[in-house]
């Protein structure tokens, strides 16, 4: 199924190659475990392939972007299903094959830019450079959206958008759409494997956003 994606006209015009680090990371920063206080949103019951809108919602919420008509839940964040459905309506995500195959990187980028965030889509870095790039984004208080390919672990051709919000010496932590504010902990080796996918031009896809 993944090999058929180019036939859908997947737009890769907005991608950039991951930049090489210009200078070594200062020793003072190497001692820190970066963390962004994000809140995750879940896929509404009965909806599938909406990890894209859920990740967009997570980043919008982090930057305090939303809609006044969406009610608040008891945790102080937007009511889950109302927020996700509004993000879907507003962004047009998911968009691949009418949403059946989820959300394209171009649509994720478009949604963030529509929210007037400075967003970039990066691909193609080495595993080491990609992890260091994510780390530096987190140190600058910017969560990172990533496209994870579960095929190496589950052999199911399952791709999912998640939001990286924390790293330490051994693990990487993401918010996934599995449940409201659900945290997924990955070993760095597993995370590195999941970042690789077989979609032409989309290997190690990262999407950054800054206000």
Q: Is residue 72 part of a domain?
A: yes
CA triplet 45, 206, 52: central angle to 5 degrees?
15
CA-nearest of 208, 13, 28 to 130 is 208
Q: Is residue 23 part of a domain?
A: no
Structural domain including 157 reads 39-210
Q: Is residue 78 part of a domain?
A: yes
Tokens 């968009």 -> residue: 95
Q: Is residue 7 part of a domain?
A: no
Q: Is residue 24 part of a domain?
A: no
User: What tens digit of pLDDT does each residue of 70-83 get?
Assistant: 999 999 999 999 99
Q: Is residue 21 part of a domain?
A: no
**Which two three-digit tokens encode residue 172?**
């990487």
Q: Is residue 119 part of a domain?
A: yes
* Alpha helical stretches, state H, the chain: 27-30, 51-62, 80-91, 105-114, 127-139, 151-154, 188-194
Q: What is the pTM of this model?
A: 0.90
**CB 167 within 8 Å of CB 138:** yes
CATH number at residue 176: 3.90.70.10
In this structure, what DSSP letter does residue 72 have? B
Please tell me the total count of domains within the chain. Answer: 1
User: What tens digit of pLDDT does each residue of 137-160 get?
Assistant: 999 999 999 999 987 676 666 889
């Amino acid at each position: 199924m993944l090999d058929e994606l180019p036939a859908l006209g997947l737009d890769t015009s907005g991608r950039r190659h991951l930049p090489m680090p210009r200078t070594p990371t200062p020793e003072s920063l190497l001692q820190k475990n970066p963390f962004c206080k994000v809140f995750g949103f879940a896929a509404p019951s009965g909806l599938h392939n909406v990890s894209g809108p859920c990740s967009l919602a997570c980043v919008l919420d982090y930057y305090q972007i939303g809609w006044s008509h969406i009610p608040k839940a008891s945790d102080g964040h937007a009511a889950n299903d109302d927020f996700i459905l509004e993000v879907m309506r507003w962004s047009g995500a998911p968009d691949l094959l009418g949403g059946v195959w989820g959300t394209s990187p171009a649509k994720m980028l478009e949604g963030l830019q529509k929210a007037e965030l400075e967003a970039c889509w990066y691909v193609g870095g080495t595993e080491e450079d990609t992890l260091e790039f994510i780390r530096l984004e987190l140190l600058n208080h910017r969560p990172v959206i990533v496209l994870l390919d579960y095929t190496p672990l589950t052999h199911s051709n399952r791709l999912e958008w998640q939001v990286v919000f924390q790293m330490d010496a051994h693990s990487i932590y993401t918010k996934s759409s599995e449940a409201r504010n659900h945290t997924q902990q990955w070993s760095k080796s597993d995370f590195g494997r999941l970042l690789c996918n077989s979609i032409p031009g989309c290997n190690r896809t990262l999407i950054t956003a800054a206000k």
